Amino acid sequence: MALRTRILKLSNLRCVTQQASRLRAMSTQSTQTSPKEGPATATEEMKPGQTHFGFQVVAEEEKTKKVHEVFETVAEKYDLMNDVMSMGIHRMWKDIFMCRLAPQPETKLLDMAGGTGDIAFRYIKYLQNLGPSQGTHSSVTVCDINQAMLDVGKQRAQKLGYTPESCGVEINWKCADAERLDLPDDSYTAYTIAFGIRNCTHIDKVLEEAYRVLTPGGRFMCLEFSQLPNDTLQWVYDQYSFQVIPVLGQLFAGQWKPYQYLVESIRQFPNQEKFKSMIEDAGFRQVTYENLTFGTCAIHSGFKI
Ligand SMILES: C[S@@+](CC[C@H](N)C(=O)[O-])C[C@H]1O[C@@H](n2cnc3c(N)ncnc32)[C@H](O)[C@@H]1O
């Protein structure tokens, strides 16, 4: 019986591998690959009103629609896939991110592109660890453009037993676009965005809105995939990203394309220095970044002064 199950599993895996080869062949037809530099970024000229969706050049409205579809499709498996793809390392990155934010009892946090609540739950835990009733005046608003992601987050909060009475932190869930927020000026003391900003169509508008809603003295923090400073490491990382991640997506979530988009969007995102300048251009001061895991991702920070 055990042997039969194993044979079935192996034949399933063979089907997935065959499908992987077919899909990889299809995807390379639309992707320009340079053997020296590894998987290249899209080089196609962009016209006004166009942007990137992974390596594809699409109309701006189309990107927003496609990103929405991606996260609607993956919402239920999102947390599982994060663990599978990063071998659990994303948990450590998010823990470090929260330690760097070091929220205080009076912190009013807007967690943008907050998805299924990973950053919000770390924020609550951090405040709880400060001591009893340390979170009493704190609040977190988890904001995301995708209701399906927020619904998973709300279910998680319920399972964790997080109510304002039990955890001392007010949690709000808000479905909205980071590029146009119906939130008042100067209303949050901290703004976080983890693995969200590269999915937005206009990064400059997201940064502008972040600046607007923060109180003077408020802090902007972004955790995002980045570029490795060493060619060999980047090559190894590209091999893993392009050859393994979509296959894992197919195996564990029955989806290939969203995970291909994920790795392509990482490659398209500006490097640490470029993104730092963009944050400065939005008006933030004391802008810094810290590489995590050799620059696989980076924590960016800036203040509204
Ligand atoms: C990779 S997930 C990150 C979720 C969460 N922050 C985390 O670290 O696990 C990216 C999230 O960005 C959201 N998103 C994409 N575009 C957005 C936009 N314009 N405004 C707000 N959220 C957006 C997606 O719906 C998705 O939930």
Residue 145 Cα to ligand 1 middle (Å): 7
CB 296 within 8 A of CB 237: yes
- For ligand 1, say whether the CB of 195 is within 6 Å of any of its atoms: yes
User: DSSP readout, 35-49?
Assistant: TTTEEPPP-SPPPTT
- For ligand 1, say whether the CB of 179 is within 6 Å of any of its atoms: yes
Spatial CA neighbour of 112 closest among 140, 86, 81, 153: 140
Protein residue closest via CA to atom 8 of ligand 1: 194
d(CA 142, CA 291): 25
Residue in 52, 92, 149 to alter for ligand 1 test, most ligand atoms within 8 A of Cβ: 149
Q: Which pairs count as long-range contacts for 126-129, CB under 8 Å and 24+ apart, including other chains?
A: 126/98, 126/99, 126/101, 126/102, 127/103, 127/168, 127/169, 128/167, 128/168
List the chain residues with pLDDT less than 50: 1-40
Options 2.60.40.1180, 3.40.50.150, 3.30.43.10, 3.30.930.10; CATH for 70-303 is: 3.40.50.150
The string of pLDDT tens digits covering residues 7-40 is 334 344 444 444 444 444 444 433 333 333 444 4
> What is the position in ligand 1's atom list of the atom closest to the CA of 193?
6
State the distance between the two ends of the chain, measured CA to CA, in whole angstroms. 67
- The answer for 300, left when phi > 0, alpha when psi is -120 to 50, beta otherwise, is beta
Cα–Cα distances in angstroms (integers) from residue 50 to residues 43, 243, 257, 301, in the given order: 13, 28, 21, 29
User: 264 Cβ partners below 8 Å, 6+ apart?
Assistant: 31, 54, 55
For residue 190, the model assigns a pLDDT of 98
Residue 12 Cα to ligand 1 middle (Å): 32
| 177 annotated as ligand-binding | yes
Residue 35 Cα to ligand 1 middle (Å): 32
d(CA 135, CA 164): 9
3-state secondary structure of 196: coil
- For ligand 1, say whether the CB of 199 is within 6 Å of any of its atoms: yes
Residue ranges per structural domain of the chain: 70-303
- For ligand 1, say whether the CB of 302 is within 6 Å of any of its atoms: no
Protein residue closest via CA to atom 15 of ligand 1: 199
- For ligand 1, say whether the CB of 238 is within 6 Å of any of its atoms: no
- For ligand 1, say whether the CB of 114 is within 6 Å of any of its atoms: yes
